[in-house]
Amino acid sequence: MEKGWNKSQIDSYLQFAKALPLNDYIPLVDGHPEGLKLRDPDCTRGRIHYAARDDDLDFTILGLLIFEDYGLDFTSHDVAETWLSRVPYHTV
């Protein structure tokens, strides 16, 4: 669901979409309740064709890369090197 939506907003959207109880991905509906427009329709039911970028996933993958490259004894310098070589500037 959208970042910043509270439970009431999520319930309103799902009721409008006739998707309660939720048992699948969030559906995209034509029209939407006031103020409840989904920002990324590619992450809705029937439209998922790739894994959308997510900062939580980014840092999980970075952790794995650091472990693979430097092992258990990695240093803060190793972390910095990995960030500088692997993380695009505009995503930090």
Q: Using 50, 70 and 90 to split pLDDT, how confident is the model at 92?
A: low
Q: Which helix (H) or strand (E) holds 60?
A: helix 55-70
CA dist., res. 13 & res. 89, Å (int): 35
Residues 32 and 38 sit within 8 Å (Cβ to Cβ): yes
CA dist., res. 82 & res. 8, Å (int): 41
Neighbours of 92 (CB within 10 A): 9
Instruction: Answer yes or no: is 18 within a domain.
Output: yes
How far is Cα of residue 48 from the mean position of the Cα atoms in its chain?
Answer: 13
pLDDT of 90: 67
**Domain total of the chain:** 2
pTM: 0.58
Dihedral of CA atoms 7, 30, 26, 60 in degrees, nearest 10, equals -90
Structure tokens at 8: 């009431």
Q: Are residues 39 and 59 in the same domain?
A: no
Range 21-49 average pLDDT:
88
Instruction: Answer yes or no: is 2 within a domain.
Output: no
Residues 27 and 38 sit within 8 Å (Cβ to Cβ): no
pLDDT of 1: 66
Instruction: Answer yes or no: is 50 within a domain.
Output: no
Domain that holds residue 80: 55-91
Q: Using 50, 70 and 90 to split pLDDT, how confident is the model at 30?
A: confident
Q: Are residues 12 and 34 in the same domain?
A: yes
Range 62-82 average pLDDT:
97
Q: Are residues 38 and 60 in the same domain?
A: no
Instruction: Answer yes or no: is 75 within a domain.
Output: yes
Percent of the chain surpassing pLDDT 90: 58
Q: Are residues 38 and 59 in the same domain?
A: no
Range 43-66 average pLDDT:
88
Q: Are residues 13 and 38 in the same domain?
A: yes
